[in-house]
Amino acid sequence: AWTEGWDLGALLTFKWVLSFAYMAAMLGLAILLMRLLQGHFRAARHLALAYAALGLLALGFHALSGSVPPLEAVG
């Protein structure tokens, strides 16, 4: 594998960079789709805020998963 020799810190950093790149790409595509369907970017701010709120909610659930014994191994 091309990640052979990477330590755990580098792999975690790479994972988070890829995660944020994926989220940014999906938000960009959603905004472009909205532009195609509606013909304007007026609701782009609302879409970005909703997208960020959903991401923060998921991050909160991930952070709290350690306090629920059956979910300790998931996080």
DSSP letters for 4-29: TT--HHHHHHHHHHHHHHHHHHHHHH
pLDDT band for position 74 (cuts 50, 70, 90): low
DSSP state of 70: G
* Per-residue pLDDT, 62: 83
Alpha-carbon distance of 55 to 42, in angstroms, equals: 22
- Interval 8-55: pLDDT, tens: 999 999 998 999 999 999 999 999 999 999 998 889 999 999 999 999
**Position 2 in a domain:** no
CA-nearest of 48, 46, 59 to 19 is 59
Range of the domain at 58: 8-71
**Position 48 in a domain:** yes
CB 47 within 8 Å of CB 34: yes
**Position 1 in a domain:** no
Domain count, the chain: 1
Does the pLDDT of residue 75 top 60, yes or no?
no
**Position 3 in a domain:** no
